[in-house]
Chains A and B, each alone.
Chain A
Amino acid sequence: MKTLSRWLLKESIIIPLISVFVGLLIGAIIMLFGGYNPVEAYQALFKKAFGNIYGIGETIRTITPLIFTGLAVAFAFRTGLFNIGAEGQFIMGSLAAAYVGIMLDLPAIIHMPLAVIVGGVVGGLWGGIAGYLKASRGVHEVITTIMLNWIALYLSNYLIREYLIEKGQQKSVTLAESSWLSFAFLTDMFNNARIHFGILIALLCAVVFYVILQKMKQGYELRSVGLNPHAAEYAGINVKGNIVKAMVVSGMFAGLGGAVEVLGVTHNVIILPAFQGYGFDGIAVALLGGNTAFGSIVGAFLFGFLSFGATGMKLGAGVPFEIINIVIALVIYFVASRLIFKRLLNALNVNKQEEQ
């Protein structure tokens, strides 16, 4: 019991906290150099993100898609795969959900879940392509997922323009309200913030992530393949099949993220001039969270809070976006390199013991 509490203190709480703190501190120094008041800036950051009910709602809205893509990247990583393609899987999930939302006319109780599920399935299939190519042809998933990102981007733009376009606009027609994940009562409660029920789906996905990997036979196989494919083969586990499965589940998380964003926030899909970056942010989120389910939620929280609160720093303290982005990057950098602090802490401990 004692060792447990010590472990908690040492590894998972203290170190990330120190990391965030050091990141903010160095950010403050940079702001000082730029002639801005860091205290004011950080106050504005917190005020924007948590100062009122609207801010909280919007912060949650920002965090939601990041949880999904973070889980996607983390899941793949735990099974030995580097999924750079969450971006593309996200796009395909949005597109599929939008298609269901626009083209079908169903009662809400069926329409909305169906749109969510189809988005997840299509994202999963998109991820599965990369998995299949790796398993059957040995093509590295980093290459294929990057390529599939571009294919998703242009395919989505093409299909929107051909089939879903709102005349004279760069976006699709609006989804039928029966498919939405946002509800007036919730929006009203948060003072018109665009918060929606996608956050619950995101949290549910984190639970699913944990249960599959840590509790189920399937997860045992996935982890074996990820950690040591030779031993997995020896144990009679189907290595190739599990690579495909891993990519499908990973893609599904990202696809669900895309679906939820469309159904909850935008209610349409736009012709994308460039990547939105949800998938790439997912890599950072997974890294921040140490590739665990809970960690991804925390990572998404940190990432989402900083990027949403950033506008506050601009408005409240006049800090330009360039500097704000540097500060965000610093915090993430330090959290990601928390090993440094761990070492430092260990060294300190050793010294302390020697003094005694």
Chain B
Amino acid sequence: MNKENIAVEMRGITKRFPGIVANDSISFKVKQGEIHALLGENGAGKSTLMNVLFGLYQPEEGDILINGEVVKITNPNMANELGIGMVHQHFMLVEPFTVVQNIILGIEPRSGLIIDQSKAIKKINEISEQYGLDIDPHATIKDISVGMQQRVEILKTLYRGADILIFDEPSAVLTPQEIVELMKIFRNLIKEGKTIILITHKLKEIMEVSDNVTIIRRGKVIDSVSVETTNPDELAAKMVGRKVSFSVEKEPAQVKEKILNVNKVSAENSRGVLALNELSLDIHAGEILGIAGVDGNGQSELIEVLTGLRKVSSGEITLHGSKLQTLNPRQISEQKVGHIPEDRHKRGLILDFSVSENMVLKNYYQPRFNKNGFLKFDEIDQYSIDLIEQFDVRTPSHKTPARALSGGNQQKAIIAREVDSDPDLLIAGQPTRGLDVGAIEFIHKKLIEQRDKGKAVLLISLELDELLNVSDRIAVIYEGEIVGIVDPKETDEKELGLMMSGGKINQRGKEQ
């Protein structure tokens, strides 16, 4: 239609929230058939902008043009009709339903009064084949992996006829292997003439798949560049407004006494299957122990038994030489164990509480904040304001509900709370998930600072770069056991990858 074939154009979009201008007259264009990346710090306004495009928010000012025509998108259904689909960071799937049921939800094909799934299944299989999504229409959502769930979301948008697909941090929830798959799917989508807008914090992904990138800082567009003419350093600098160092600088570790000992611990997961199989490890004061492993090999259960959220079925855990596995979460936290949970929405925050209330989630009951059963809200607020400042949590105020913070800033709030309690042992479950490069650098510094103060840090991460950069030792977990401990200076991604798959390459049949 349009001579330049511009699929999406946003002109002067302004969206305000109480106390903040999330999008400040943003303009940008996405060409038909390209992958256009949106890059920006946590809280820059990327998700907000895409929610505007998808009809979830109404902008106060500005126009949206789809294929050259001005449109008004007042709700997601309208976006669907215009061929816009969105894959949210937190999936919108009905867990007990099957894949087909989820996909046809709201647009059920009928014959008479009865829902006719067979037509839908046929179409799903066709789409799945066409884009290499590899989806079983009959599987139940709660039984399939996160990566598969994401592909269901992609299929859902395609089923509804989407030509423009928006992805909000799709790789944040994926394992490295799944990310490789996702990149392939992106290429397939483009081959079939789709247009993709991709929000991501991972510069590597941008360099790898996208054509153009628009950088947003504090609600404003800083620049739009073609990926060919740029490099990660330049992108990072544009986005944060200063130079970012990707390699972590640290002194050699001053390892001291043993803090935590895990001795042949076994535990079941929520489905009653053995998840930790006589796992043993030690952590010392003054070191960062990284745990590497393919997602689902017992990392979550390990964190849970260490923090009192899951019972061990056998074995012994000692902290400072005294028994830990009989203690409840509060007692453990009082033994100076901090915990950054893997899932910030499930465990880490009460989204409807204010930022202030969330900052004292672990210590609201202590005399500092509590007098005769009454909370000292003035103290709590003051404390929160300090933390917000120290950890650069971008929020309009400490009274803002945590729900209204951007994903990365929610994470920063949790990290502020846990690091500030100055724990002897800090258990960090994927602490940098969803953070921008600047914030990641900051968090890494904080972890190393803890270590240098003579504290112990247990870092569980799916990012091998992170583990290699930050840890002093890396323990590899496979099927609930530690299969080896390596020195990050003497290993590489390849060796780790091999150990993570149980030491056998033939399992996946291919190397990445």
Interface residue ranges, A against B (CB under 8 Å): 3, 215-218, 220, 223-224, 227-228, 230-237, 350, 353
Contact = CB atoms under 8 A, between A and B. Distances in A.
Given A215-B375, A217-B374, A220-B364, A228 B351 contact: yes
Contacts of A217: 364-365, 370, 373-375
Interface stretch (B97-105, B173-181, B326-334): B326-334
A138 to B, nearest CB: 15
Contacts of A3: 18
B58 interface: yes
B352 A227 contact: yes
Nearest to B347: A234
Indicate the size class of the contact surface on chain B.
20 to 34
Secondary structure dominating the interface of A: helix
6 contacts: A224-B353, A234-B307, A234-B309, A234-B347, A235-B362, A236-B331
A3 B365 CA distance: 33
Of A217, A227, A234, A237, most buried by chain B (CB within 10 Å of CB) is A234
Given A224-B353, A227-B350, A235 B373 contact: no
Interface in B219-238: none
B58 A350 contact: yes
Contacts of B348: 231, 234
B374 A220 contact: no
Q: Which of A217, A233, A350 has the most CB of B within 10 A?
A: A217
B341 A234 contact: yes
Given A231-B361, A235-B361, A236-B329, A216 B374 contact: yes
A234 B18 contact: no
A227 B347 CA distance: 11
Interface in B171-225: none
Given A217-B364, A236-B329, A350-B58, A230 B373 contact: no
List the 9 closest A-B pairs by CB distance, nearest first: A236-B330, A234-B347, A236-B329, A235-B361, A228-B350, A230-B346, A217-B370, A227-B352, A227-B350
Contacts of B329: 233-236
Contacts of B375: 215-217, 220
B60 interface: yes
Interface of B: 18, 58, 60, 307, 309, 328-331, 333, 339, 341, 346-353, 357, 361-362, 364-365, 370, 373-375, 377
B315 to A, nearest CB: 22
A231 B333 contact: no
Contact of A231 (B307, B347, B364): B347
A30 B361 CA distance: 52
A220 B357 contact: yes
Given A224-B353, A236-B330, A236-B362, A231 B346 contact: yes
Nearest to B362: A235
A236 B60 contact: no
B208 to A, nearest CB: 35
B335 to A, nearest CB: 11
Contacts of A220: 357, 364, 375
Contacts of A237: 330
A232 B362 CA distance: 9
A223 B349 CA distance: 13
Contacts of A227: 350-353
Contact of B350 (A216, A231, A350): A231
A173 B352 CA distance: 50
Nearest to A219: B375
B361 A353 contact: no
A129 B375 CA distance: 29
Contacts of B341: 234
A234 B418 CA distance: 12
Nearest to B346: A230
B333 A236 contact: yes
Nearest to B332: A236
B22 to A, nearest CB: 16
Contacts of B373: 216-218
Contacts of A353: 60
B350 A236 contact: no
A228 B361 CA distance: 12
A353 B60 CA distance: 7
Nearest to A353: B60
B95 to A, nearest CB: 15
Contacts of B339: 234
Contacts of A236: 328-331, 333, 362
B425 to A, nearest CB: 16
A3 B396 CA distance: 14
A233 B333 CA distance: 12
A306 B357 CA distance: 39
Contacts of A215: 374-375, 377
Nearest to B339: A234
Contact of B309 (A216, A223, A228, A233): A233
Contacts of B347: 230-231, 233-234
Contacts of B350: 223-224, 227-228, 231-232
A38 to B, nearest CB: 36
A223 B352 CA distance: 10
B455 to A, nearest CB: 20
Contacts of B330: 235-237
A351 to B, nearest CB: 10
A348 to B, nearest CB: 12
A236 B333 CA distance: 8
B349 A231 contact: yes
Nearest to A215: B374
A237 B350 CA distance: 13
A3 B16 CA distance: 13
A266 B55 CA distance: 57
A224 B351 CA distance: 10
Contacts of B58: 350
Nearest to A232: B350
A65 B135 CA distance: 57
A228 B364 CA distance: 16
Contacts of B309: 233-234
Nearest to A224: B350
A3 B339 CA distance: 37
B373 to A, nearest CB: 5
Contacts of A231: 346-350, 361
Interface centre among B328, B329, B333, B339 (most CB of A within 10 A): B329
B134 to A, nearest CB: 31
